[in-house]
């Protein structure tokens, strides 16, 4: 098996699974219970919160545990918008956000908020000047994805944060789901107020994530029913998932050298895939993460290539996993200004720290067979 759909989910590390099983089977008490088993579970949550905070350089009290990226993004965006609506109802984001962000803002528009969706340049980036030009007295929140989940573009988060030092009344939310462990980001230096992460993107278990909420930030809870997670996220915590997530984050943070190796593997893949007739690279050649390559074969249906590779034990994807079953063209590729044919035929290959050069060469060899066969059918 060659797994190159790590942008959708990563394989949990064995040590992470072992930690999950141990906690789930031994420390299964409800962390809100007052008996010793519950207190043991609560202690594991506290320890995990401290470890994650230390790894990120923030306070433990600023880490809120969630079920993943979608929930974290919704809490941050909707929670801030409603908490600050008396001061203003104008929000700013981009045209290339993850579906959980785009749809959260869409819902807020239905609730009477005004949203500015910033266009991007040929690299899929927004500029600091663009953002500042759209700021109004009634602007309360700016939400920008760090690493684009379809094409890998890295947004200028630190520069945006520096500019926002002049606008302390505006909260800055960053979707860091695709960036964590692959592209470094200093939360404090970037003046980030809220930041979303999901465990299954960095070899943790699905169903766990966390939201950084800077001390003093006002967020209205979307959940009622308990006082867990500082009253921001009611519901019994997923103790085993939280412990496993802390373990996974510690392991990936130790892989600094692997980031450079990943860049080399990606560059090799891009060079070789470009040499195949009919292939067009959609990911930019700069301002890009080391683990995502998006390319199109105009005239073909991407799902045919996905299934052809799957039959060979090779796994890639089309768009974001959250949108891959939708038939319309990629919203992100369309925002880049690509034509309908190219935006409809995008394929995403995403690597992990476990990806090897041998695997990349095998995938290229298979594509050298599959793509000409498909194009021959299209043009005959």
Each residue of 200-239: pLDDT tens digit? 999 999 999 999 999 999 999 888 888 788 888 988 899 9
Residues with Cβ within 8 Å of residue 50, at least 6 apart in sequence: 60
Half-sphere exposure (Cβ direction) of 31: Cα atoms closer than 13 Å? 22
Q: So what's the pLDDT on residue 84? A: 97
SS3 content of the chain, % helix, strand, coil (to 5): 40, 15, 45
- Measured CA angle at 206 (ends 205, 211), to 5 deg: 95
Helix (H) or strand (E) holding 63: strand 63-66
Q: Is the dihedral of CA 49, 188, 201, 290 positive or negative?
A: negative
- Closest by alpha carbon to 297, among 225, 370, 357, 346? 346
Give the confidence band of 320 by pLDDT, cuts at 50, 70, 90.
low
Q: So what's the pLDDT on residue 324? A: 47
- pLDDT value at 149 more than 50: yes
Q: How far is CA 240 from each of CA 31, 53, 62, 179, 295, rounded to the nearest angstrom?
A: 11, 18, 20, 24, 38
Is residue 322 flagged as an active site residue?
yes
More confident residue, 31 or 92: 92
Q: How far is CA 379 from each of CA 240, 300, 345, 375, 376, rounded to the nearest angstrom?
A: 53, 10, 16, 6, 5
Helix (H, G, I), strand (E, B) or coil at 229: helix
DSSP bridge partners of 114: 90
148-154 mean pLDDT: 97
- Dihedrals φ, ψ of 66, to 5°? -130, -175
293-314 mean pLDDT: 94
Q: Which of 2, 276, 322, 364 is catalytic?
A: 322
- Closest by alpha carbon to 147, among 368, 350, 361, 363? 350
Each residue of 1-14: pLDDT tens digit? 999 999 999 999 99
Q: So what's the pLDDT on residue 106? A: 98
Burial of residue 266, with CB atoms counted within 10 A of its CB: 0-12 exposed, 13-18 middle, 19 or more buried: buried
Q: So what's the pLDDT on residue 232? A: 85
Distance CA 100, CA 70 (A): 5
Q: So what's the pLDDT on residue 69? A: 97
Q: So what's the pLDDT on residue 119? A: 97
Question: What tokens does 315 get?
Answer: 């796994």
Domains and CATH numbers, the chain: 2-9+255-378 (3.90.1150.10), 14-253 (3.40.640.10)
Each residue of 90-136: pLDDT tens digit? 999 999 999 999 999 999 999 999 999 999 999 999 999 999 999 99
47-63 mean pLDDT: 98
């Amino acid at each position: 098996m060659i797994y190159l759909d790590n942008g959708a989910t990563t394989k949990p590390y064995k040590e992470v699974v072992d930690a999950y099983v141990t906690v789930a089977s031994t420390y299964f008490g409800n962390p809100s219970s007052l008996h010793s088993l519950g207190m043991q579970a609560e202690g594991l949550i506290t320890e995990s919160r401290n470890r994650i905070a230390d790894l990120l350089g923030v306070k433990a009290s600023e880490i809120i545990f969630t079920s993943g990226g979608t929930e974290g993004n919704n809490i941050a965006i909707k929670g801030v918008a409603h908490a600050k609506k008396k001061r203003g109802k104008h929000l700013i984001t981009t045209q290339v956000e993850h579906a959980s962000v785009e749809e959260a803002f869409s819902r807020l528009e239905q609730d009477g908020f005004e949203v500015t969706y910033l266009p991007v340049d040929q690299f899929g980036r927004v500029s600091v000047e663009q953002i500042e030009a759209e700021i109004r007295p009634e602007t309360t929140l700016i939400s920008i994805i760090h690493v684009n989940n379809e094409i890998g573009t890295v947004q200028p988060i630190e520069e945006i944060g520096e500019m926002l030092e002049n606008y302390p009344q505006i909260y800055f939310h960053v979707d860091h789901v695709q960036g964590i462990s692959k592209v470094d980001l200093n939360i404090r230096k970037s003046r980030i107020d809220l930041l979303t992460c999901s465990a299954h993107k960095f070899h943790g278990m699905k169903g766990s994530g966390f939201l950084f909420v800077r001390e003093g930030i006002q967020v209205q809870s979307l959940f009622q029913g308990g006082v867990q997670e500082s009253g921001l996220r009611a519901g019994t915590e997923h103790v085993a998932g939280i412990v496993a997530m802390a373990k996974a984050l510690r392991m990936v943070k130790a892989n600094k050298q692997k980031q450079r190796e990943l860049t080399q593997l990606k560059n090799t893949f891009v060079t070789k895939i470009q040499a195949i007739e009919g292939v067009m690279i959609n990911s930019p050649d700069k301002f890009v993460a080391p683990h995502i390559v998006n390319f199109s074969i105009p005239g073909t249906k991407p799902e045919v290539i996905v299934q052809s590779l799957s039959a060979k034990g090779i796994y890639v994807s089309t768009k974001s996993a959250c949108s891959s079953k939708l038939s319309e063209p990629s919203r992100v590729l369309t925002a880049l200004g690509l034509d309908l044919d190219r935006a409809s035929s995008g394929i995403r290959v995403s690597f992990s720290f476990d990806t090897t050069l041998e695997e990349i060469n095998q995938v290229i060899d298979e594509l050298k067979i599959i793509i000409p066969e498909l194009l021959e059918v299209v043009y005959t």
